[in-house]
Amino acid sequence: MSAQAIYVLWLRDMKWFLRAKARIISMIMMPFLWLAIIGMGLGAVTTLPGDEPYINFLTPGIVGMAILFGATMSGISVLWDKQFGFMKEILVAPVSRISIMLGKVFGGTTTSIIQGLLLLLVAGLIGAKMPGFAGFFLVLLFMTILAIGFVSLGLAIASRIEDPIAFPLVVNFLIMPLFFTSGAIFPLSTAPGWLKSIAHINPVTYGVDGLRGAIGVSGYPEFPLWLDFAVLAIFSLAMILLGAYLFKKMKA
Amino acid sequence: MQAIVTDGLTRKFNGLTAVDHVTLQIKKGELFGLLGPNGAGKTTFIHMLCTILPPTEGTAKVAGFDIHQNPDSVRAAIGIVFQDPSLDNRLTGRENLDFHGRVYGMSKIQREKRIGEILKLVELEKRANTLVQTYSSGMRRRLEIARGLMHHPKIMFLDEPTLGLDPQTRRKIWEYIQMLNKQEGTTILLTTHYMDEAEYLCDRVGIIDYGKIIALDEPEKLKDQLEGDIVSLEVPQPRKYAEVFRGSKYVKEVKVVGDYLHLTVTGAEKTIPKLMQIIARHNGKVRSVGLRSPTLEDVFIRYTGRGIREEGGGVKEEMRLWAKASSR
């Protein structure tokens, strides 16, 4: 493994990200609309246990959503690299595939965290509850671990796909159900049993629960924070291993 | 000392043999050309030597390292310019070079010094800080060559380095290739389907067709094998006259390429009138006459019975050029 190779792939992702201002705006636009429209619309008719305003409840869910989509979609950079031939330059370099993959994981993770934080800031501006000082670091921790898992998943998918148009379709097909069954937009405590069961095997559930716990939404976390963290850590590790395995077999 | 040694190197794709038991030695410091039509297996051959494509059979040593046992050492010792574009368009020229230097483990001081040197060599200093997106295809090619040189490779692979470039740019790139070979002492393996390129640049040329090396020597020696000049006659029904000339004492070899009859003759000045008489006797009419010394194309025709650009990959090349143009 080469630290310099990991760093330079990360650096490249940062340069791309900072040069694509339109991308940053459009990436947080969708979650922002969820917050503003669904948050206000449903907030007016929703009563939550503990009388927590709906926007406070929804914000961690939507931040989780932004991370989920941003992270998984970041795998598309692999497809562009294949398309423009740059992948050949990377693969012919004297560095291991695992370094290449980790560089991409860190790059994608950083950009998704930035998106998540921007969204959190916007949510704060429209009146959602913000984490305290210690809570903020917990928020960062959960963002990171959630992002690592889903960036790796995105990279694993990207290494198997050649067509940049097919990639977002495949990702949406996979991610949408995870988002809807994670309890991001409604409390799981009042959900039917079958939905709860699905939620319990969905790693995003633990990410959203961890974020709510970190921010201090009343009635959360539903699971102990260490459990949220442990589930996400195992999930992320599994995804890194899957991604690394598929990256190894990838052709330029 | 050999820079590249291949031993029965073979690659099959779904039963189709792209590279067929190639055994070849390339000396250190040599500028070696692999000449052949599109689809002859040149790129596949290079990809195996670069360790990004495993061979089906056979092995090779590159810079003294076995491609199976020591792929990482092979990669560190070589530089490559791929046939298709492989730059990051969203980075600047300098950033592309810097990325490369870092991946190859160069320090900041080494990188800065080397980037300055090679940008000067390929004359891209002025555009170094603009995005590659804005480069012309010739500039991109130069940047790719510079990038391949970045880490002082012992061996440089150039896969069709001037494909689709205009004549001036080709000349320039030839100059860089020679400079790189002479001044930096880099061993170069280049592939091309341009005769003039192989003839002008290479110390030795291997002619490859259907995955096999069919001739291998210095360009001059390859051409000397033909012993004589080539007269090309444009006639209607060239095949009919090919039969007529095949028994003729004036003509050593007869080939038909398109509407042309290529005749290998000695003492062309005196022979041409005789050839015309023969055609006239058969009530034929010669539309045009050409006389030239043999080129590598003629060598290729001699071995394969057809021209290099006559068939194969015409459409593919057009698609590739089109793709290059539209990615600008």
* ipTM of predicted complex: 0.85
Q: Please state, in angstroms and rounded to a whole number, the distance separating the CA atoms of residues B230 and A226.
A: 84
Calculate the CA dihedral of residues A157, A162, A168, A170 and round it to 10 degrees: -50
Measured in angstroms, the CA of A84 and the nearest CA of chain B are apart by 6
CB contact, 8 Å: A26 with chain B? no
| Measured CA angle at A45 (ends A25, A198), to 5 deg | 70
Instruction: For chain B, say whether A164 makes contact (Cβ under 8 Å).
Output: no
Contact between A61 and A183 under an 8 Å Cβ cutoff? The reply is yes
- Cβ-defined contact of A16 to B72 (cutoff 8 Å): no
Instruction: Flag if B52 and A84 touch (Cβ within 8 Å).
Output: no
> Count of residues for chain B?
328
Say whether pLDDT at A252 is over 90.
no
- pLDDT at residue number A32: 87
Say yes or no: B86 contacts chain A, CB-CB below 8 A.
yes
- Whether the CB of A252 is below 8 Å from some CB of chain B: the reply is yes
Q: Rounded CA gap, B67 and B78, in Å? A: 12
Are B103 and A86 inside 8 Å of each other by CB?
no
For residue B89, list chain A residues with Cβ-Cβ distance below 8 A: 84
- Judged by a CB distance cut-off of 8 A, whether residue B52 touches chain A is yes
CATH number for the domain whose boundaries are B2-222: 3.40.50.300
Q: What was the pLDDT predicted at B318?
A: 56
Which residues from B are below 8 Å from A95, CB to CB? Answer: 103
What pLDDT is recorded for position B274? Answer: 85
The residue that leads in pLDDT, A21 or A33, is A33
Query: What residues of B are in contact with residue A96 (Cβ under 8 Å)?
Result: 72
Beta bridge partners of B7: B59
Name every chain B residue with its beta carbon within 8 A of the beta carbon of A85.
82, 84-87
> What pLDDT score was predicted for residue B46?
94
Q: Residue B204: its pLDDT value, please?
A: 94
Interchain pair B80, A92: CB under 8 A: yes
Task: Give the Cα separation of B231 and B137 in Å (integer).
Answer: 37
Domain B227-293: assigned CATH number: 3.30.70.100
Question: Distance from B99 to chain A by nearest Cα, in Å?
Answer: 6
What is the nearest CA distance from B32 to chain A, expressed in angstroms? 21
Interface test with B, best of A1, A12, A98 (most B CBs within 10 A): A12
A91 touches chain B (CB under 8 A): yes
For chain B, residues classed under CATH 3.40.50.300 are 2-222
B50 CB neighbours in chain A (<8 A) are 92
CB contact under 8 A, A92 and B87: no
* Contact residues on chain A for B99, CB-CB shorter than 8 A: 8, 12
pLDDT digits 0-9 by tens, A125-159: 988 889 989 999 999 999 999 999 999 999 999 99
Instruction: Tell whether B91 lies on the interface with A, counting CB pairs under 8 A.
Output: yes
The torsion region of residue A191 among left (phi > 0), alpha (psi -120 to 50) and beta comes to: beta
A2 touching B (Cβ < 8 Å): yes
- Which chain B residues are Cβ-neighbours of A8 within 8 angstroms? 99, 102-103
Domain extent at residue A189? 3-249
pLDDT of residue A33 exceeding 80: yes
Check residue B293 and give its pLDDT.
Answer: 82
Write out chain A in H/E/C secondary structure: CCHHHHHHHHHHHHHHHHHCHHHHHHHHHHHHHHHHHHHHHHHCCCCCHHHCCHHHHHHHHHHHHHHHHHHHHCCHHHHHHHHCCHHHHHHCCCCCHHHHHHHHHHHHHHHHHHHHHHHHHHHHHCCCCCCCHHHHHHHHHHHHHHHHHHHHHHHHHHHHCCCCCHHHHHHHHHHHHHHHCCCCCCCCCCCCHHHHHHHHCCHHHHHHHHHHHHHCCCCCCCCCHHHHHHHHHHHHHHHHHHHHHHHHHCCC
User: Percent of chain B scored above 70 by pLDDT?
Assistant: 94
User: Is B318 near chain A, with CB under 8 Å?
Assistant: no
What's the average pLDDT block by block, 10 residues per block, for chain B (328 residues)?
91 89 93 89 92 91 93 92 91 95 92 92 91 91 91 92 86 88 91 89 92 88 82 85 81 84 83 85 84 83 73 52 53
Looking at residue B62, what is its pLDDT? 94
- Residue A98, pLDDT > 80, answer yes
Quote the tokens at residue B33: 């050309």
- B151 to chain A, closest Cα gap in Å: 11
Number of domains in chain A: 1
List CB contacts of A89: < 8 A, sequence separation 6 or more.
B82, B86, B87, B88, B100, B147
A85 closest CB neighbour out of B52, B84, B99: B84
Residues of B in contact with A76 (CB under 8 A): none
Q: Do A89 and B100 touch (CB under 8 A)?
A: yes
pLDDT of residue B226: 78
Q: CB B52 to CB A90 under 8 A?
A: no
Q: Which residues of B touch A102 (CB under 8 A)?
A: none
A8 closest CB neighbour out of B52, B80, B103 = B103
Q: Tell which of A92, A98, A249, A250 to mutate to test the B interface (max B CBs under 10 Å).
A: A92
Among the partner-chain residues B51, B76, B90, the one whose CB lies closest to the CB of A19 is B90
Nearest CA in chain B to A80: B88
Contact status of B151 with chain A (Cβ, < 8 Å):
no
Q: Do B103 and A5 make contact, defined as CB atoms within 8 angstroms?
A: yes
- Boundaries of CATH 3.30.70.100 in chain B? 227-293
Residue A169 has pLDDT above 80, yes or no: yes
Contacts of A12 in chain B (CB under 8 A): 88, 91, 99
Closest CB from A8, A85, A251 relative to B86: A85
Does the structure show a pLDDT above 80 at A50?
no
- A90 part of contact set with chain B, CB < 8 Å: yes
Q: What is the pTM of this model?
A: 0.82
Distance CA B105, CA B115 (A): 14
